[in-house]
Structure 1
């Protein structure tokens, strides 16, 4: 799978949307059940694991158990669901992300 520009936020140890957040390049497995970001391997929270999560995370770090929220970025910059905190934009995606904010499609998402 090609890398995707995504919103990525650490949930473990923070109230709601107060954890550090990034806009960066995330690589997914073919099934979208595994994500790779910042040298982390993240597995999707599914099935019985979902019962052990407070509902505010959709991936967890397979090494540390830390919980994360990953989603596509929003043009209106309301990526944090309960906070206006702005994410750190990774340098390698800055140009594409800024173009996205002004109306361009994200790389790999030209068709939707």
Structure 2
């Protein structure tokens, strides 16, 4: 499994880009079609406003790499929680370079 530092936002039940969001570790399977985050199994979906869904609840999520300028949401200021176990890697990414798992990009 590949483990990447990602921006994750819950889309279901909220106005555009107003759902809770996190910076944290996401584990992907070898085909990149399944992701695991906060105990959820997320599967890839093609869509306009979401690109993954929870297989148990069908809730929609947006996953993407974090942005260095912290403008991860598209339409407004939303506080993004940084997971405790990802904080050090995220702060290093903001200060210096590529996100862990993306050193070659």
TMscore range, shorter length: over 0.9
Task: Summarize deviations over 1:28-83 as a string: whole Å, max 9, x none.
Answer: 1111111100010001003xxx4xxxx21100000000000000000000000112
Contact 1:73 1:79 in 2 (8 A): yes
In 1, distance between residues paired with 2:61 and 2:79? 16
TM-score by structure 2 length?
0.95
RMSD (CA atoms): 1.0
Task: Summarize deviations over 1:75-94 as a string: whole Å, max 9, x none.
Answer: 00000011221310000010
- Max Rg structure: 1
Could you list the runs of 5+ residues in structure 2 that have no partner in the other structure? Answer: none
Corresponding residue for residue 15 of structure 2 = 15
In 2, distance between residues paired with 1:59 and 1:75? 23
Could you list the runs of 5+ residues in structure 1 that have no partner in the other structure? Answer: none
Task: Summarize deviations over 1:11-36 as a string: whole Å, max 9, x none.
Answer: 00000110000000000111111110
- Structure 1 residue runs of 4+, over 3 Å off? none
Aligned residues: 105
Give 1:109 deviation, angstroms: 1.2
In 1, distance between residues paired with 2:79 and 2:94? 14
TM-score by structure 1 length?
0.89
Corresponding residue for residue 86 of structure 1 = 79
Q: Which has the higher strand share?
A: 2
Corresponding residue for residue 45 of structure 1 = 45
